[in-house]
Amino acid sequence: MSAAPSISESLRALMAEVGPRWGEAVTQHVKQMVDEYSRVLVDQPTDGIRVTRGLAYGTHPRQVLDVYQPAATAGTAATGPLPVLIFAHGGAFIDGEKDRTPQVYSNVLYYFARNGVLGINMEYRQAPEFKYPSGAQDVGGAVAWARAHAAEYGGDPKRIFIMGHSAGAAHTGCYAYDASLHPAGGVGIAGHIVLSGRVRTEMRADNPNAKKVEAYCGSDPAMLVKASAVTHVNAQSVPTFVGFAEYDNPLIDLHCSELVFRLAAAKGRAPRLMRLPGHNHTSIIAHFNTAEEALGREILEFIRTGK
């Protein structure tokens, strides 16, 4: 199997330079990191992974997903059915694609597929055309698809995990914790993974994406609370992993910390948590399938143990 590419010292130096200034020009810095990591990930290992693209889980053109299957192991007697990971990308509610570049975000699913997880990269409808709770409903649609079809690709429909980054975690979080969005049979997932997630929707003056939040949720304070994943946490909430970067988008670390606190208060035990030093809002997701695996290994352990 091909070796994962290393993150160069020059890129780490750039991350260290940009990190403390991240919030001053978020859009510019996101693009810069996507471009840099796309160059790194040109050499990412993809061997042994079978990708099936453009499978519909709904009727809208954006309600599609790609499946990343470990072709050599999926469904064999030796391994049994594989855990399933559904990934929802970010984009501040109005932007983003499941393939931001040919390398980002496929790197996430390649990494987990290489490590024995059936990966699903989902697309979803976006604001301003589609408002809350359309994103969470689309996560539910992808979960329903996986429950019905994961076994065809060697996956275990009883071990589905959902993972959201940035605004994607607003959608996965609302689906994971808000029982009003669950089908009659229940939430249907084994766990939830939040990476730099906008799990509270708010329009604070220091939120550079406040207008994009408004495009999805509106400006009514009651609706902003309802659309916040943290609002719906309780003692019965699914097992959760929370990760965020040292240099995150403004307020994201606060939102993730609130989620950790609310889960701990409700359950009497803190969830699994990781703060990734030296990384930023984009590199926390773009570095998957490189030689740096600290975060990936923590998530794999969460998937393995369910806690």
pLDDT band, residue 90 (cuts 50/70/90)? very high
Spatial contact of 87 and 108, defined as CB atoms under 8 Å apart: yes
In the prediction, which pLDDT does 242 show? Answer: 98
pLDDT band, residue 77 (cuts 50/70/90)? very low
pLDDT above 90: residue 73: no
pTM: 0.97
Long-range pairs, 43-47, Cβ under 8 A, ≥24: 43/2, 43/5, 44/4, 44/5, 44/103, 44/107, 44/110, 44/289, 44/290, 45/1, 45/2, 45/3, 45/4, 45/110, 45/114, 45/289, 46/2, 46/110, 47/1, 47/2
In the prediction, which pLDDT does 80 show? Answer: 82
Task: Give me the helices (H) in 115-268, please.
Answer: 134-149, 167-177, 210-217, 221-226, 252-267
The domain locations on the chain are 9-305
Percent of the chain with pLDDT over 70: 97
| Of 49-53, 68-72, 195-199, 268-272, minimum mean pLDDT range | 68-72
**Within 10 A of 298 (CB to CB), how many other CB atoms are there?**
17
151 vs 147: CA distance, rounded Å: 8
Mean pLDDT for the chain overall:
96
pLDDT band, residue 152 (cuts 50/70/90)? very high
pLDDT above 80: residue 76: no
What would the pLDDT profile of 230-263 be if each residue is shown by its tens digit? 999 999 999 999 999 999 999 999 999 999 999 9
pLDDT above 70: residue 17: yes
- CATH code: domain 9-305 is 3.40.50.1820
**How far are the Cα atoms of 113, 157, 224, 226, 235 from residue 301, in angstroms, in the given order?**
14, 19, 33, 32, 22
What would you measure as the largest C-alpha separation in the chain, in angstroms?
55
In the prediction, which pLDDT does 74 show? Answer: 47
What would the pLDDT profile of 214-229 be if each residue is shown by its tens digit? 999 999 999 999 999 9
Spatial contact of 252 and 285, defined as CB atoms under 8 Å apart: no
